[in-house]
Amino acid sequence: MPDITKCLNVNCVMKDKCYRYVCIPDKIAQSYSFFLPISNKIESFKCEFFYGIKTDKNQINPNV
């Protein structure tokens, strides 16, 4: 169970690279929100709630 608020923004250009969107939800106690990026263009993407997916064991890449 992820202890994180999941994102419901299906129109986000980085949703497939954001842990808030792709993590498997808890069946009972999962919280959700609609996070809106500041810029939703792939070349200038900016979202204060973006949570990059781990690229290796020791690092989370916030700029995936």
pLDDT at residue 54, as a whole number: 76
Q: What percent of the chain has pLDDT over 90?
A: 72
Looking at the 3D structure of the chain, how many domains does it have?
Answer: 1
Q: Which amino acid is at 2?
A: P
**pLDDT single digits (tens) 12-39:** 999 999 999 999 999 999 999 999 999 9
Residue 44, domain extent? 1-53
> How many C-beta neighbours within 10 Å does residue 35 have?
20
Domain assignment present for residue 63? The answer is no
pLDDT at residue 20, as a whole number: 95
Please give the C-alpha separations between residue 36 and each of 1, 44, 55, 57, in angstroms, as whole numbers: 24, 14, 24, 28
Domain assignment present for residue 30? The answer is yes
Domain assignment present for residue 64? The answer is no
Domain assignment present for residue 40? The answer is yes
Q: Which amino acid is at 55?
A: T
Q: Between 55 and 34, whose confidence is greater?
A: 34
Domain assignment present for residue 25? The answer is yes
Domain assignment present for residue 58? The answer is no
Domain assignment present for residue 59? The answer is no
Domain assignment present for residue 27? The answer is yes
**Extended beta strands in 1-64, E state:** 6-7, 32-33, 54-56, 59-60
Token representation of residue 56: 């290796």
State the pLDDT confidence band at 3, using cuts at 50, 70 and 90.
confident
